[in-house]
Chain A
């Protein structure tokens, strides 16, 4: 039986008992009503009888029609009342019957009274006394009957009160019994129900606690077939399901944990990489800032609206300002003087044409010279500049020096010119008139005089040579050089041919396996070859056959040439004197010459950015080397 049924029964029994109580109360009330009605009936009879007695007396005292009629009406209503009454119990019925009989008797007596009265009216006195006597009896009888009726009515009233009291007692006990009974039954049912529910709930609670404690394999005992059983079954099922889902959840959690671990690992790796990247970035930023600060150029960057986005330390030092005075500010706000100047013009040009610009400018702001390079980009302008004030100063000084040198050169030139003209003219006169003197006075001059005149003329020739060489040497500095690639073999051939022509009586042999081309001024380099060959020829005059070897090869950035002879050679101790102007290692009686040839060679080679040196040994010949920078390596 389910709890619901039990509860329903409980309620139904309570309802039933209530109905019983209501029924009992209803019956009781009905019976009390009846009893009350009977009581009332008895009272009315008492009242009616009393009234009738009173009327009887009235009539007896004063027999009138009206009193008679009043009495009749009273008697009739009373009879009606009696006839209508019903009693269940036999004793009551007997009392009622006796009341009825007395009522009828009372009527009989009254009617005799009436008859007597009528007769009295018509009869004589004697007869009236008899009649009065008869009426007195009749009245007595009537009164007796009335008394009986009243007492009977009282009996009935008493009986009805007793009845009420009896019914009340009965109904009290009955209701009490019913209430007690219903309380008993309901209490019993409730007790058992609550007991069952309590026990099962306790079991359930315990089970829940066990399961909540983690033992998902715990099952609740199932007893009977009520809701608790169903609940336990459902609970068990739920626990089973829970166990199953818990198992799968555990699996899932395990998987999730695994995935989580993988995720964490990936996350850690990512973080490591981010850290690494950040470090790299910061390193590269540091590098950039280091580069920016380490480049000796000053640097700043402007965006397309002229706002300063970057500036390095050199620039800050140059301007003598702090970084905060630049960053995030408009360039022309910082240097309003720049507007309309070469700066704005050049920067705008760079930005609009997308080409880099460079210019030297004297900044009035800092009173310094700067060489500015500005490179446009999508974002704006990168400006590198360096302080070239020192350089400008040096340039100015150089310019001044150059001007001075040019002036000195001009003076030298004028001097050379003067020498050329004015120094030669007297020489020519000396020689010419010496010659004329010797010729015109040939007969007067003896051999010794002729010899002395010859000495004068030889010295004139020497001096003339010195002047020539000096002019050549000094003239070298003035001539501008025209650089080109030179066919050295052709030059050698030309110079060698010249030597052969100048020295017709000599046996000269040239050995050469070819020469690499040179890069230089044709006339100057030719002069070098001529001078070296001329020297070689000169210092081999003691040899039957002069063997002169000329060679050359490319060596890195320069080409080295040499001229080697089998002549007199020289003492290496004096090699530093070889290239001095008017320096000679041999006596003028041995070898003619002014000592300018090698000086010219050295001067030419140096002007080309090359080197020259000599190697030799007395009587073992000499070798002269010179180098010329190759094309694109020239220092001039």
Chain B
């Protein structure tokens, strides 16, 4: 059962970004319980036990979801909306990790009840640092309601 316990769900379609994120987490010893989902649809299937993830215990929830906004199939904001709309995932901590510093994206994210909004730094050092801090904070310091 241990391999099924996931602390961080990374919803990221860009493999480079995913790799850099995982590297940053690994560097800081946080990569053990990370699950990467490639698009919005996969994320929804995973959370609600549908599609490829049918039969998965939806009660097994991560400590944080790192959600990119620009995703294939289902947009990051739509994923967020679905999560917040469902009773089972309503309180799930979601951190938007995106390249967009657009004002409207921030506003819409917060409107939908995001827990945090982080713009991915382009410079790798800053990026790595930011990801590590997110990991530390949400996995180690933050206490989830469930």
Does chain B have a CB within 8 A of A457? yes
- For the complex, give the distance between the alpha carbons of A174 and B127 in Å: 191
Smallest CB–CB gap between A447 and chain B, Å? Answer: 20
Residues of A within 8 A of B103 (CB): 479
- For the complex, give the distance between the alpha carbons of A179 and B54 in Å: 188
Given the known inter-chain contacts A428-B127, A431-B124, A434-B124, please indicate yes or no for A421 contacting B70, CB distance below 8 A: yes
Q: Are A464 and B123 in contact (CB under 8 A)?
A: yes
Q: Are A428 and B102 in contact (CB under 8 A)?
A: no
Given the known inter-chain contacts A417-B100, A420-B101, A431-B123, please indicate yes or no for A436 contacting B16, CB distance below 8 A: no
Chain A contacts with B in 409-440, Cβ cutoff 8 A: 417, 420-422, 424-425, 427-429, 431-436
Highest count of chain B CB atoms <10 Å: which of A421, A424, A429, A461: A421
- For the complex, give the distance between the alpha carbons of A112 and B82 in Å: 220
Does chain A have a CB within 8 A of B60? no
Does chain B have a CB within 8 A of A460? yes
**Size of B's binding interface in residues, CB under 8 A:** 21
Does chain A have a CB within 8 A of B120? yes
- For the complex, give the distance between the alpha carbons of A599 and B101 in Å: 21
Smallest CB–CB gap between A400 and chain B, Å? Answer: 26
Smallest CB–CB gap between B33 and chain A, Å? Answer: 22
Contact bitstring A451-484, B, C-beta under 8 A = 1, else 0: 0000001001100100000010000000100000
Q: Are B20 and A429 in contact (CB under 8 A)?
A: yes
Q: Are A420 and B14 in contact (CB under 8 A)?
A: no
Given the known inter-chain contacts A428-B17, A428-B20, A432-B16, please indicate yes or no for A457 contacting B123, CB distance below 8 A: yes
Smallest CB–CB gap between B26 and chain A, Å? Answer: 11
Residues of A within 8 A of B23 (CB): 432, 436
Say whether chain A's binding surface is mostly helix, strand, loop, or mixed: helix
Smallest CB–CB gap between A506 and chain B, Å? Answer: 23
Does chain A have a CB within 8 A of B122? yes
Q: Are B122 and A420 in contact (CB under 8 A)?
A: no
Give the size category of A's interface with B.
Answer: 20 to 34
Smallest CB–CB gap between A416 and chain B, Å? Answer: 8
Does chain A have a CB within 8 A of B115? no
A461 CB contact (under 8 Å) in B16, B102, B122: B122
Q: Are B102 and A435 in contact (CB under 8 A)?
A: no
Given the known inter-chain contacts A425-B14, A428-B20, A429-B20, please indicate yes or no for A417 contacting B102, CB distance below 8 A: yes
Residues of B within 8 A of A427 (CB): 122
Residues of A within 8 A of B69 (CB): 421
Does chain A have a CB within 8 A of B142? no
- For the complex, give the distance between the alpha carbons of A331 and B9 in Å: 79
Does chain A have a CB within 8 A of B99? yes
Contact bitstring B1-28, A, C-beta under 8 A = 1, else 0: 0000000000000101100100100000
Some 23 contacts from A to B, beta carbons below 8 A apart, are A420-B99, A421-B98, A421-B99, A422-B99, A425-B16, A425-B99, A427-B122, A428-B17, A428-B99, A429-B14, A429-B17, A429-B20, A431-B123, A432-B20, A432-B127, A432-B128, A433-B20, A435-B124, A435-B125, A435-B128, A460-B123, A464-B123, A479-B103
Chain B residues in the interface with A (C-beta under 8 A): 14, 16-17, 20, 23, 69-70, 98-103, 120-125, 127-128
| 9 tightest A-B CB contacts, nearest first | A429-B16, A432-B124, A435-B124, A432-B20, A464-B122, A424-B99, A431-B124, A421-B99, A428-B122
New A-B contacts (10) at CB < 8 Å, excluding given A417-B102, A421-B98, A460-B123: A424-B120, A425-B14, A427-B122, A428-B120, A428-B122, A432-B20, A432-B127, A435-B125, A435-B128, A460-B122
